[in-house]
Amino acid sequence: MFNKIVSFAMSVASRGLNNNKVDLLTKQLRYISCFGNEDIPQCPNLKKSNKTKFYYCGGCGCGDHLHTQLIKNPGEYAKLDYPSLNCPLKMPGFTNYDPNSPIKDLNRKELIQNYDLEKVKLVNITVSVDKEKEEIFDSISKINGNT
């Protein structure tokens, strides 16, 4: 229980006050680790939410809540956006990824570890962006550049 609390606190802290987000390639790899694709089966812990049209991890213990949805609509902050995020199976793309960890789903892990990086880049997913904050940041950057 204590480890889950620390993991959650680390994720929230990594988000920071500016809604920091993981880079696109890492989010794409996380997506494949959770949802799979035509070559890799989905994670057995993936659960459909009873509250939304989205999915959550049934293995981490966080439950079905709006803030635990793995992906959301573009522009909304989702769980896979957190820069620091642990996976109960320690799969590729997650902060606690361990290629040597003994897990029940070793075949899936090996498929993901050996998956063609160019195919990972084809995963159609966005890193959520707050347009208003981005515009403010761009304006401040331009002002700083002119001084």
Q: Based on the structure, what is the number of domains in the chain?
A: 1
Name the average pLDDT for the chain: 84
Question: In this structure, are strands 46-48 and 55-57 parallel, antiparallel, or unpaired?
Answer: antiparallel
Q: How many CA atoms lie within 13 A of 65 on its CB side?
A: 7
The pLDDT value recorded for residue 16 is 76
pLDDT tens, residue by residue, 83-102: 999 999 999 999 999 888 77
Q: Assess whether pLDDT exceeds 90 at residue 26.
A: yes
If one counts every other C-beta atom within 10 angstroms of the C-beta of residue 63, the result is 11
Neighbours of 51 (CB within 10 A): 11
pTM for the whole thing?
0.79
Q: Are 87 and 32 in contact (CB under 8 A)?
A: no
SS3 letters across 89-117 = CCCCCCCCCCCCCCCCCHHHHHHHHCCCH
Q: Which domain holds residue 71?
A: 2-146
